[in-house]
Amino acid sequence: MKENLEIAVFGGGCFWCTEALFKSLKGIHTVTSGYAGGTAENATYEKVSGGNTDHAEVIKIEFDPDLISFGDLLAVFFNTHDPTTLNRQGADSGTQYRSVIFYASDAQKQEAEKLIEELTINKAYDNPIVTKIEPLTEFYPAEEYHKDYYERNKDAPYCEIVIAPKLEKLEKRFRELLKNA
């Protein structure tokens, strides 16, 4: 692994969606779906989806800051999910689908707080931003069958209806950040 890689952890709804989006960006070394922010140890999909662990579905991104900045990742994060809906993204509802940034450094925390403040001042959204900013403590990787879900299931209805339109939006809005740009 390269020595200068940094980590970012975001929860923006279903991790199948966020994984597919962030994997398509340049400078991304790995994207791992998983769980963070809860009280239960050894989080599993069954436990988290039951709503009893306080964990969120998240992605852990290892990225090269020389190729893509944390600010770029934040911009993609805020433009590819709804940061104004509490514990919901589309039809997915529950605390596991909350909008959250788990910061890995004080610099990340400050940058996320500053962006939320700017978005609020500029009234970027009709409703208040509910995205939480919390320290990254534990991260539990998701089960293997969640890995590369979109790539393996592009024809599945959820992928066609929910993930594909997000990828189209990403391509239009952030073309310069894509691997194949």
| 170, burial (CB in 10 Å: exposed 0-12, middle 13-18, buried 19+) | buried
Q: What share of the chain is helix, strand, coil (3-state, %, to 5)?
A: 40, 25, 40
Q: Choose the catalytic residue: 7, 8, 9, 14.
A: 14
The β-bridge partners of 99 are 12
CA–chain centroid gap for 5, Å, is 18
102 burial class (0-12, 13-18, 19+ CB within 10 angstroms)? buried
14 flagged as catalytic? yes
Token readout for 90 is 């589309």
Q: Which residues are catalytic?
A: 14
